[in-house]
Structure 1
């Protein structure tokens, strides 16, 4: 009987340690961070151009489109994933902490 109880506890523990499976069409956290890094780099680049705000509002979507092409992710999948992660503030904080850390590393190394 003790062996059966031990086995049940072991199996329960192993199953509970598995990462929560993401719904279909939702990007994993690593891919989201990669996209957020590039999106924020593009936003910074566009705002650094000596152009009027109206012109930057036209220019930014072109950069954004290129980012999604580069990462081979449709914008609808990114937006759906962003909305999914926004439901949990702790997860979103973790994603943005990773994004900010990566942007700091890029800034210090001078690479973009």
Structure 2
């Protein structure tokens, strides 16, 4: 009986340690939050590249834009790097995550194009 009890205690300790280590390895951002963050980053990329190439934004301002995005998502640069590395380790899942990012960016682009057409139609 004692051996069974000791075995049960040992197994329960392994279980609890395993659960705790999974929580430690879990990312600070859930996939949905990561998708939203990556959409914001890629939207900023597009705007910043356009602004820098036209001379409207200087290179020193670029870091501030990214810092502001991370702050809006309540995450530091180090945390972002850690979360990015976490998700990128599982290529198939990371590909699905980025497919969702691409879909959302395409929707945003389509909405912007519709807004431009509406504005143009209202002027004419």
TM norm. shorter chain > 0.5: yes
Q: TM-score, normalization: structure 1? A: 0.70
* Runs of 4 or more above 3 Å deviation: none
Which residue of the partner structure matches residue 93 of structure 2? 91
- C-alpha deviation, 1:74, in angstroms: 1.6
Q: Deviations over 1:21-53 (max 9, x none)?
A: 662453110111011000000110011110299
What number of residue pairs does the alignment pair up? Answer: 89
Q: Is the 8 A contact 1:37 1:103 kept in 2?
A: yes
Instruction: Measure the CA separation in 2 of the matches of 1:25 and 1:84.
Output: 7
Structure 1 gap ranges (5+): 1-20
* Higher helix proportion (structure 1 or 2): 2
Which residue of the partner structure matches residue 33 of structure 1? 35
Q: Is the 8 A contact 2:39 2:104 kept in 1?
A: yes
Structure 2 gap ranges (5+): 1-21, 116-124
